[in-house]
Structure 1
Amino acid sequence: MAWRDAKASRVRLLLFVASIILGIAAVVSIQLFSTNLIDNIKRQSKALMGADYVIETRQVPTERAQAIVDSLQPNATEVNFVSMIAFPKNGGTKLVEVRGLEGDFPFYGTIDTQPASAAATYQELGGALVDATLMLQFNVKPGDSIKVGNVILPISGSLKAIPGSTAISTSVAPPIVIPYRFIKDTELLQFGSRKEYKFFFKVSETLDLIALDKRLQAKLKAESASLNTHIRTSERLGNRYENVGKFLNLAAFIALLLGCIGIASSVHIYIKEKLRAIAVLKCMGASRKQSFLIYLIQIAGIGIVGGLIGALIGVGLQELFPLFLKDFLPFTVDISISAQPIIMGILLGLFMSVLFALLPLLRTWYVSPLEVLRVDEQASKEPLKVRLLVFTAILVFLFLFSFWLLNNVMYALGFIVVTFVAFAVLAGVALLCIRAIRRYFPKSWGFTARQSLLNLFRPNNQTVVLIVAIGLGTSLIGTLYFSKDILLAKTDIEQSSKNANIIIMDVQAEQRDAVESNIKAKNLPILNNIPIVTMRMHKIKGDLVNDLRRDSTKSRRGFLNHEFRSTYRDSLIDSEKVVEGKWINELKPNSSVFISISDNLAESTKVTVGDVIVFNIQGVLMETTVGSIREVDWKQLQPNFNIVFPKGVLEQAPQFNIILTSVPDEAGSADLQRDLVAKHPNISIIDLRQVYTIIEDILNKVSWIINFMAFFSIVTGIIVLIGSVRTSKYQRIKESVLLRTLGAKNKQILQISAFEYLFLGLLGSLVGVLLALFSSVCLALMVFKEPFTPSLIPFLVFIPGITLLVLAIGLSNIRSVLKSSPLEVLRREG
């Protein structure tokens, strides 16, 4: 009977199956890709680092730090810094990352070069390995030379890949590897130069790296150094894609939830139409168990088939992710397929279909044989206890599933609470509308308008079911769209001809005038000249920093060890605003030195306005008072600072400068860089236009993934809406036929259906978008932790779009009634 009835109702059940397939496909594809990503990170973490662990410091190691390093006997050493280099062959210049290496690094993975032998011979021959893309760009080949500071080295080979470099970093500053022994001769490491020393270690598998990390981390941090293991590298890589991962999981959860709504609404209306047939079966002697099992087997079978198809589609879909993420993942993701996702998809399809169809299915248990004669829809309702038990089971399933996806109890509870509130609000709005229409029924209206309103509360109406289905579908689609906007808001990189697009760094005091003259000689503007003074904290609120290091919290200790690069000026810039205290722009005679600090520094060091901080400015102690706290937008591509002094304090301190200018085109940029590097080899130049291009390219790929998953889930939602409205077709046909039999014209039937579906679509979509707005604000504040500016698209497109979609589907339901005679329609549908 289950098979025969399913064959007879296959058109009605098609959209029900589609809801399951799309929901399962989204979950399986995202989960399988996430699992592969995590497995790849764990498996390749050593090759990514090139060692088991590394000790790093951004200054010449202190005596105690060097003693710790020496006691562990490093297997390789590196110093790296960003600098300009030149190609004597054609006069080209480029900002690069110079990596001076000593030892047999890497111990895991390989240095990929062309020719392959260059990786093994460059140390002995005293040559350089130059980024392969850079060599193509400047038309140089092995055997040509490269000028690094005051040293000219032959190019041993092109560098294709090396552990410790990522696609993003190499695009901004391509790596150049030279022997460590030449670093001193380059004379590039001068006052204020940003540099990093690394000591690489290879150890036996038996060494407990976690215990070593705990034992040495505090000691090294006290010396402004840190220890990183390959284990922590893999954790950090996982966290790097956290927000994108959260969104993808959210998309999977919403796609599945939309599928569940489609199942519940479709089966609710489907079973409602079957109640009279079930009553007939019971009149003929069928038991409760038999009538229940007929439809349980039918729904379970559809769930298994839908789950299997969805899982297979999901396995195919997840192959797309590495294709679009390859340019900013620091490794190649190897996709492995196992039986687990397919089994998970089948079981998920089975549980989803049965659980969310259980409530309408239980009505078959309570159908009385007298239902054949009864018209009252209340006659076959299941007891309240049974309904509460099913609702509880559904909530438990949703909680467990969301917890499995998000791995966070509070997030899972939050999703369940928001979903439950949305369901309750929509059901409440539908019931209130029905009550209001009943109470204030417009008796003076015309026949078609009155009939369409009567349809909203007549026996066997689907007002609550359709408003809940339309509203929840719209709400989830809207939430997904708003969430997409939250993540993609950061992809808008504003550029203007008035903004600086060239940053010249590490300009020494004696070079400043000459550099400015060179820029002005090319008719380029000096947009800003920022002085930089290096300093450390000596005392905070009367406590010595050396004492605080030993007992402070981990987050605070990071700033206590920090060497600050601070500036002085008399005004705020557009990336900052004062949130506490008063901005002091200039030192007044016989006054304390009032400084301004960033909000993150204030929070980490636990200082506020009025507190005293003593700085060690290259051997000179200076007492300052916190005059204001600033909120800084660190995302803006311009120099920002934790500490800003007023004018009249640091002018005589040892300092270097950052000069900002704007170049109209690529040729002008190349000419300026070539000229400056030839005269001042120590300075570094960043062309922000290249950075803009790189960031936009990366973010475009992330945007594609996010938009794809959003579109995937939105399509699922639309199919659910189509299914929910379309399934009501078979009940409406008989009503429309009866109206035609009584003399109603096609135009009147169309108007009755149009008014009813217009009301359902408009009310459901409006409440759904408002719920989406509320849930998106919660997501922005609590999950993504990003600012949220709501888009008008859901209001201007989703509400009218979904309303028209519901209207179109509703009118298509009665198309057969309008084209054929009443008797022909009744025979065909029967």
Structure 2
Amino acid sequence: MIDFLRQLVSPWVWRMAWRDSRPARWRLLLFSSSIVFGVAALATIGSLRENLNSALGGQAKSLLGADLMVASREPFSAESENLLADFRRQSSDEVRELSFTSMVGIADEVAPKLVTLRGVEPAFPFFGSVVTEPAAAWQQMQAGGGIIVEPAFLASMNASVGDLAKVGSLELPVLGVVKEAPPSASGFSALSPTVFISLEKLESTGLAGMRSLAFHRAYFQLNDGVNAEQLVEANGAKMTELKLTQTTAESRSENVEQAIDYLYLFLNLVGISALFLGGIGVAGAIHVHVSERLASVATLRCLGCSAARSFAVYFVQCVALGFIGVGFGLLLAWVNLLALGAVLANYFPAGLPFGVQLSMDVGAFIQGGLMGVIVSTVFALLPLLAVRRVSPLAAIRKGEQFQSQGRRDPLRWLIYTLMVAVVFFVAWFDSRQLERAWIIAGAYIGFLLLAFGVFAAVGLLLRKACRWLMRPSWPFVLRQGVAALYRPNNQTGLFMMSIGMGVFFMLTLICMQNILNQWLDPERMAEKPNLFFVDVPPGEMSGVSTMVAEQGATPLGNAPIVSMRITDVKGVGVRQLASQGDASGHKIPAWVVRREFRSTYRDQLGDSEEMIAGEWISSWSASQKNEAIPVSLEQKMADDLGVVIGDELSISIEGFGVSLPIRVANLREVDWRSLNLNFFMIFPPGVLDDYVSYDVMTAHSAGPEITADVQKALFEKFPYVNTIDVSLILSAVQQVLAGASRAVQAMAMLTVLTGALVLVALVLAGRRVRIRESVLLRTMGASRRQITQVLASEYILLSSMAVTAGAGLSVIACYLLGMQVFQGEAFVFPWLLMLATSVGFVIVIVSLGMLLSRGIAKRPPLEVLRSA
């Protein structure tokens, strides 16, 4: 080892490495291109993440608009106001916000739409800015002059600035559109357009008092020296007791950065896969290169060159190739960032959000470059082992006889371990910001080992099958093509891995998109609810149902809603169970303490429910005072609470000050992905009738025209009833999935392109062997056409098996995904799409192979005599 390190700094080794590369420099440069796309992906994605995190770090408070936000699902109580007063004394300013969903109409000929109404006070936001068009619209809105809407909402209503909008009992003018909106503290706003209104004007619309999903928020700008995190921690127990939630500027920034890190990790793992695949391509290329240079190595050994020195010569070549590939990869990453900036400029004409600047991040480029050099070098060590074991006697023998000695080299397993360790380190390093990063890296390594194990096994089976199955009676062309798959120095295994992995990635992503589109297909939803009517007063349910039916929609059912909280589980308070646990140490999740459960009562199971234990109670009346009411509990919630059938709990009915004992009568499994009305707790009829807050009703509309008629009719008579059109949400989700799918498929194309480069390198690396075989066949009388057919049959067999292996692994992955998504429901596997794509891959691979092999069949037989 010491001698090898000494040789690395020897000028003679570097001169010899340069001279020895003369016959194959262009081919070696092509070999180094295998890692270009992997390095480019890592550097590009790393720069994007650093640009985003840097921008977010500089504007952390702008993500929330304040130092601290305290929220409640109900109006702040007297005790809550006392706590907020303590916060106010440590703040320089405070503003309030009330937000909820409601129907808003503008033009008479267009159906009203569900929006998120945000009523805010003038000083909000404390940090960041609000940009409107016209510029004075925000100040006019805060003065009570009207509302501000999003541009897309205005366009969908065929309206313009200045039109009157009906908001509850008021008609208010549209003052302008928002270009840069104030920060939103709720994710629900993403499901509907946002309408801004002054808090004072919102309270006068008559809508605020009947909202089931209202959010009351208080924003604070803290004094200098007051730490928001410490303030929250000091009052955490009190806020939990008062059912208040909080968000600080720091936590909001951390949440956004964590989301960016998860997205970065997913995309980066694709880049690492491309880099890993490129490393295998480099290993295959160096394997061929070294096998061709064994005679030169033997000559050097005869002249007194030590094994360490000869090994250093080719090691230097590999490192140099790695640096060249990294250089081109970083150049491509720089071009990618310029192109991304130009593309995103079309989506964000006013500039990227949070002031993001797409620029090269030096740290990300250095990190990507180092990973590229390390991976290419480590993967090249495996074929270089043969150089160490070349004897001077090889100068008078066939070099191929000595290449097999490398397979028995004990260092081979050390190199294998080092390769796995390097890939594990790269995956861990890129996910180190996330929790359980080592588990993520381990799972990724397990996936890669499984995938490459499958492809290696298929390649081995293919070679053995060719030996077993080939018969002398087969046509000459087919025999020669099959024999090429298991001849000495064949590249079948590397070919299977490079092509198989690329095909696997692409087909899996295409199939995933197809399965998700099936899940969201409107035809599949034809028998399911696509209209939800929320906040229906109990006494108005009959009128709402009749009106919906008159407009052509089909009412499907309704559920009376009772708001409640769990106070005790088996006689122990939920706060104690959340903090200390029960006698067995089981702790209930903190969300149970904070959550307000919206439950219902009915006499039968729903379509999306299945009873798995206990007895269904369809009716019940207490035989004695304070007898526990039998309820049906969702199974996972029962597991979280640590209860089984027969256990008792206590609930508090919100708004009525009533506490009731309940008993777990049965457990249900609920398909929460369905669009039916699903609940954690279901009571028998007759026990909660007096505590109903509002009703929710579902219906099915056959088309957008019927939906528009329903919305118009309800808005005129019941403006406080919210109509949620699920078909619009599903359409929006489909568009988001389509955009995300294109982005992910673009990343997966890096793997395919890397596989293509590896294929090119392998074909060119084996060109000399194929020329020799071609010349021998020509000498024995084979025609040019026959030799071309031999090459074609070899590539057809290789590509067919590689694509079949990749497609087979993809089918398994997609079938498991489909079963998970549909959970027993029938779904159509995209066999035709998979088959067509696979055939397309085979055609492209064979065409590429034949293109790179052109001219081989034209070599004259005289070359055999000359080489002899």
Structures share fold, TM-score greater than 0.5: yes
Match of 1:397 among 409, 417, 422: 422
Letter in 1 for 2:240: K
Is 1:22 the counterpart of 2:37 in the alignment?
Answer: yes
Change (3 A) 1:216 1:485: farther
Report deviation, 1:603. 3.2
Cα gap change, 1:675 to 1:220, in 2 (>3 Å):
same
1:615 matched residue in structure 2: 651
Shift of 1:252: 0.9
Change in Cα spacing, 1:531 to 1:272, as seen in structure 2 (3 Å) is same
1:515 aligns with 2:544: yes
Tell me which of 363, 384, 398 is aligned to 1:340.
363
Match of 2:3 in 1: none
Out of 481, 485, 489, the position equivalent to 1:461 is: 489
1:699 aligns with 2:728: no
Please say which of residues 418-427 and 228-237 is displaced more in the overlay. 418-427
CA distance in 1, matches of 2:818, 2:257: 21
Whether the aligned pair in 2 keeps the contact of 1:504 and 1:658 (CA below 8 Å) is yes
Answer yes or no: is the 8 Å Cα contact 1:251–1:480 preserved in 2: no
2: CA distance, partners of 1:826 / 1:35: 62
CA contact (8 A) 2:551 2:709 kept: no
Give the match for residue 592 of structure 2.
559
Q: Are the counterparts in 1 of residues 191 and 729 from structure 2 also a CA contact under 8 Å?
A: yes
Partner of 1:818: 857
1:168 deviation in Å?
A: 8.2
Correspondence for 2:758: 720
User: For the Cα contact (< 8 Å) 2:38–2:271, is it kept in 1?
Assistant: yes
| C-alpha deviation, 1:366, in angstroms | 3.2
Deviation at 1:488? 7.2
Equivalent pair of 1:568/1:645 in contact (CA under 8 Å): yes
Q: 2:59 maps to what in 1?
A: 44
- Given the two structures, how large is their TM-score scaled by the length of structure 2? 0.84
CA contact 1:725–1:810 (8 Å) conserved in 2: yes
| 1:256 Cα deviation after fit | 0.8
Question: Could you list the per-position Cα deviations for residues 475-516 of structure 1 after superposition, in whole angstroms to 9, with x for gaps in the alignment?
Answer: 464156436655774454132444433322101022222222
Q: 1:531 aligns with which of 550, 560, 576?
A: 560
Choose 85-94 or 593-602, whichever is displaced more.
85-94
> Residue 334 of structure 1 aligns to a residue in which SS?
coil
SS in 1 for 2:79: helix
Query: Percent identity at matched positions?
Result: 30
Comparing 316-325 with 601-610, greater Cα deviation is found at: 316-325
Work out the CA distance in 2 between the residues paired with 1:320 and 1:644: 55
What TM-score do you get using the length of structure 1 for normalisation? 0.87
**1:474 corresponds to:** 500
Distance 1:219 1:490 in 2: 44
Native 8 Å contact 1:482 1:790 kept in 2: no
Distance in structure 2 (CA, Å) of the matches to 1:770 and 1:526: 45
Number of the residue aligned with 1:677: 715
| Distance (Å, rounded) in 1 between the aligned partners of 2:153 and 2:808 | 52
Aligned-partner Cα distance in 2 for 1:449–1:402? 43
Q: Is the CA contact (8 Å cut-off) linking 1:817 and 1:825 kept in structure 2? A: no
5 Å matches for 1:154-173? Answer: 154-165=173-184, 172-173=191-192
CA, structure 1 residues 135+446, in 2 after alignment: closer, same or farther (shift >3 Å)? closer
CA distance in 1 between partners of 2:371 and 2:575 (Å): 57
Check 1:793–1:315 CA distance in 2 against 1; reply closer, same or farther (3 A cut): farther
Q: Which residue of 1 aligns with 2:86?
A: 71
- Give 1:49's aligned amino acid: L
* Whole-angstrom CA distance in 2 between matches of 1:808 and 1:663: 51
With over 3 angstroms needed to count, the CA separation of the structure-2 counterparts of 1:732 and 1:584, relative to structure 1, is farther
Tell whether the 8 Å contact from 2:153 to 2:193 is kept in structure 1 after alignment. Answer: yes
Aligned to 1:190, the other structure's residue is in SS state: helix
CA contact (8 A) 2:36 2:328 kept: yes
Q: Is residue 2:213 matched to residue 1:187?
A: no
CA distance in 1, matches of 2:109, 2:457: 75
2:13 paired residue number: none
Deviation larger for 321-330 or 52-61: 321-330
Give the drift of 1:756: 5.2
Aligned twin of 2:11: none
SS class of match (1:526)? strand
> 1 CA distance for matches of 2:737 and 2:463?
48
Cα distance in 2, alignment partners of residues 740 and 139 from structure 1:
76
Query: Which letter does structure 2 place at the counterpart of 1:394?
Result: M
Across the two proteins, how many residue pairs are aligned to each other? 824
Equivalent residues in 2 for 1:396-435 (5 A)? 396-407=421-432, 408-420=437-449, 423=452
State the distance in 1 between where 2:45 and 2:277 align.
Answer: 16
CA distance in 2, matches of 1:308, 1:558: 51
Q: Which amino acid aligns with 1:58?
A: R
Q: Is the 8 A contact 1:93 1:677 kept in 2?
A: yes
User: Is contact 2:608-2:671 (8 Å) kept?
Assistant: yes
Partner of 1:369: 392
Match of 1:598 among 626, 634, 659: 634
Asked if the contact 1:280–1:369 (Cα under 8 Å) also holds between the matched residues in 2, the reply is yes
Task: Determine the structure 1 residue equivalent to 2:331.
Answer: 312
Give the C-alpha shift of residue 220 in structure 1.
0.8
1:609-659 per-residue CA deviation (whole Å, 9 max, x = no partner) reads 332233333344433332333343434445432222344443444342122
Q: Give unmatched runs, 5+ long, in structure 2.
A: 1-15
Q: Would you say 1:58 and 2:73 are equivalent positions?
A: yes
Q: Which residue of 1 aligns with 2:7?
A: none
Aligned-partner Cα distance in 1 for 2:845–2:143: 75
Shift of 1:280: 3.8
Is the aligned partner of 1:632 residue 2:670?
A: yes
CA deviation map 1:30-80 (0-9, x unaligned): 222222233333333321211111001101123322211111116111111
In structure 2, the CA distance between the partners of 1:53 and 1:403, relative to structure 1 (3 Å rule), is same
1:474, distance to aligned residue in structure 2 (A): 0.8
- Provide the rounded CA distance (Å) in 2 between the counterparts of 1:425 and 1:523: 56
Task: Using the TM superposition, name which of 290-299 and 435-444 deviates more.
Answer: 435-444
Tell me the CA shift for residue 467 of structure 1: 1.6
The code of the aligned residue for 2:855 comes to S
Q: Deviations over 1:303-325 (max 9, x none)?
A: 22221111121233245667569
Displacement of 1:106 in angstroms is 0.6
* Contact kept? 1:479, 1:776, Cα under 8 Å: no
| Structure 1 residues 637-786: aligned runs within 5 Å | 637-746=675-784, 749=787, 753=791, 760-761=798-799, 763-767=801-805
CA distance in 2, matches of 1:472, 1:579: 47
- Rounded to whole Å, the distance in 1 between the matches of 2:543 and 2:261 is 46
Contact 2:553 2:706 in 1 (8 A): no
Contact 1:506/1:657 (8 A) holds in 2: yes
Which amino acid is the alignment partner of residue 616 of structure 1?
S
Shift in Å at residue 593 of structure 1?
4.3
386 and 525 in structure 1: CA distance in 2 versus 1, 3 angstrom threshold:
closer
Question: What CA distance in whole angstroms lies between the structure 1 residues aligned with 2:402 and 2:516?
Answer: 56
Instruction: Return the letter of the residue paired with 2:768.
Output: Y
Alpha-carbon separation, structure 1, partners of 2:447 and 2:192:
46
2:361 partner letter: S
Tell me how far apart the structure 2 counterparts of residues 238 and 401 of structure 1 sit (CA, whole Å). Answer: 20
Report if the CA contact (8 A) 1:540-1:613 is conserved: yes
CA distance in 2, matches of 1:621, 1:75: 36
Distance (whole Å) between structure 2 residues aligned to residue 375 and residue 236 of structure 1: 63
The Cα of 1:286 is off from its aligned counterpart by 5.5
- SS of alignment partner, residue 554 of structure 2: coil
